[in-house]
């Protein structure tokens, strides 16, 4: 199946009013006309309003980096799905490894967050991935399946509406990327798990994340089950991010040719 590719930037806790404006104007200026792939940026919550305006009328979709598992009320510091929707967020990251690691988010928390996003009409980008110790112990498949299973269990038939991001924790921000073969192997496991849960598994994009950059994107995106990227560091540099988008658009074109859909 020729799934549309998605390149999502994860700005993490970076940016300023001035830097966001410069980055987005460079991206808007550099985006190829009729880019074949979808593009999104997941920005820090205080900048949602600013970036909503900056991307308006462009093909860049707005995303957030986290969402509360509660609807509202006495949850100091949290941001609800309805609030994200108020600012036009199309996507929200849930279960990023930095949230799991530094904020103790459990699989159940992540599943509840995905549920709140879906209920608000926002696509959750569900992040899964093993640590280096888990990989070395041969637990990669078990860990990612467990993480995804919680989300599948909580979300029933809506599961075909999510995006999955496989991000090996040891590859995030380290400059150490999974090889295309290593990534594809895990993506195939996740695809099979989705296929057991929904007849629409083929349309769920599975992104790769972890030190994706302009030099390695094309090779990763050529894999049959790698449908795009969740890009951290390289999404903060307009030229790097644009090159990754170009690689995804080229891969999209190739996939269309192979499947005879033009
Ligand atoms: P990185 O981050 O591209 O800087 O490795 C990816 C992510 O954490 O989403």
pLDDT in tens, 68-80: 999 999 999 999 9
Q: Is the CB of 212 under 6 A from ligand 1?
A: yes
Ligand 1 centre to CA of 231 (Å) is 5
Q: Is the CB of 211 under 6 A from ligand 1?
A: yes
Q: Does the 6-14+37-259 domain belong in CATH 3.30.950.10?
A: no
Rounded Cα distance, 108 and 114, in Å: 10
Kindly report the length of the chain: 262
Are 87 and 62 in contact, with CB atoms under 8 Å apart? yes
Instruction: Give the position of tokens 């590859």.
Output: 171
Token pair belonging to 70: 């509660």
Q: Is the CB of 32 under 6 A from ligand 1?
A: no
Compare 258 and 122 and report the one with higher pLDDT: 122
The whole-number pLDDT of residue 81 equals: 98
The C-alpha angle 33, 204, 257, rounded to 5 degrees, equals 50
Average pLDDT, the chain: 94
Q: What is the mean pLDDT of residues 203-225?
A: 96
Q: Is the CB of 176 under 6 A from ligand 1?
A: no
Instruction: Give yes or no for residue 34 having a pLDDT over 90.
Output: no
Please give the number of the atom of ligand 1 that sits closest to the Cα of 10.
9
96 among known catalytic residues: yes
The whole-number pLDDT of residue 1 equals: 60
Q: Is the CB of 72 under 6 A from ligand 1?
A: no
Ligand 1 centre to CA of 171 (Å) is 8
Are 180 and 222 in contact, with CB atoms under 8 Å apart? yes
* Percentage of the chain lying above the pLDDT 90 cut: 89
For the chain, the structural domain boundaries read 6-14+37-259
The whole-number pLDDT of residue 33 equals: 77
Are 92 and 125 in contact, with CB atoms under 8 Å apart? yes
Ordered alpha helix ranges (H), the chain: 17-30, 48-55, 81-86, 97-102, 107-119, 132-136, 140-155, 180-197, 217-221, 238-258
Are 20 and 50 in contact, with CB atoms under 8 Å apart? yes
Ligand 1 centre to CA of 131 (Å) is 14
Rounded Cα distance, 104 and 163, in Å: 22
Instruction: Give yes or no for residue 248 having a pLDDT over 80.
Output: yes
Q: Spot the catalytic one: 96, 105, 161, 187.
A: 96
pTM of this structure: 0.96
Are 238 and 38 in contact, with CB atoms under 8 Å apart? no
pLDDT digits (tens, 9 = 90+) for 91-140: 999 999 999 999 999 999 999 999 999 999 999 999 999 999 999 999 99
Rounded Cα distance, 125 and 45, in Å: 16
Please give the number of the atom of ligand 1 that sits closest to the Cα of 165.
9
Instruction: Give yes or no for residue 259 having a pLDDT over 50.
Output: no
The whole-number pLDDT of residue 221 equals: 97
Q: At 14, phi and psi to the nearest 5? A: -130, 155
The whole-number pLDDT of residue 32 equals: 81
The whole-number pLDDT of residue 260 equals: 43
Burial of 13 (0-12, 13-18, 19+ CB in 10 A): exposed
Rounded Cα distance, 142 and 25, in Å: 42
Token pair belonging to 118: 């879906």
Q: What is the mean pLDDT of residues 216-232?
A: 97
Per-range mean pLDDT, top range of 8-22, 24-38, 245-259: 8-22
157 among known catalytic residues: no
The whole-number pLDDT of residue 258 equals: 46
Please give the number of the atom of ligand 1 that sits closest to the Cα of 93.
9
Instruction: Give yes or no for residue 168 having a pLDDT over 90.
Output: yes
């Amino acid at each position: 199946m020729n799934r549309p590719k998605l390149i999502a930037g994860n700005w993490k806790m970076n940016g300023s009013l001035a830097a966001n404006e410069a980055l987005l104007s460079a991206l808007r200026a550099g985006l190829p006309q009729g880019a074949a792939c979808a593009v999104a940026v997941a920005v820090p919550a205080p900048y949602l309003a600013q970036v909503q305006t900056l991307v308006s009328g462009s093909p860049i979709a707005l995303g957030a980096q986290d969402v509360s598992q509660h609807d509202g009320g006495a949850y100091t510091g949290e941001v609800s799905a309805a609030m994200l929707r108020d600012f036009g967020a199309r996507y929200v990251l849930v279960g990023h490894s930095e949230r799991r690691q530094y904020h103790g988010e459990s699989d159940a928390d992540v599943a509840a967050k995905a549920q709140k996003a879906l209920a608000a009409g926002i696509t959750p980008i569900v992040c899964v991935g093993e640590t280096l110790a888990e990989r070395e112990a041969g637990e990669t498949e078990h860990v990612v399946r467990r993480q995804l299973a919680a989300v599948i269990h909580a979300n029933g038939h809506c599961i075909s509406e999510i995006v999955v991001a496989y991000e090996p924790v040891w590859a995030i921000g380290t400059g150490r990327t999974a090889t295309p073969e290593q990534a594809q192997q895990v993506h195939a496991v996740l695809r099979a798990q989705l296929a057991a849960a929904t007849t629409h598994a083929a349309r769920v994009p599975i992104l790769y994340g972890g030190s994706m950059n302009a030099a390695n994107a094309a090779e990763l995106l050529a894999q049959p089950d790698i449908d795009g990227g969740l890009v951290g560091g390289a999404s903060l540099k307009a030229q790097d991010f644009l090159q990754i988008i170009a690689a995804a658009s080229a891969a999209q074109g190739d996939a269309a040719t192979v499947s005879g859909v033009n």
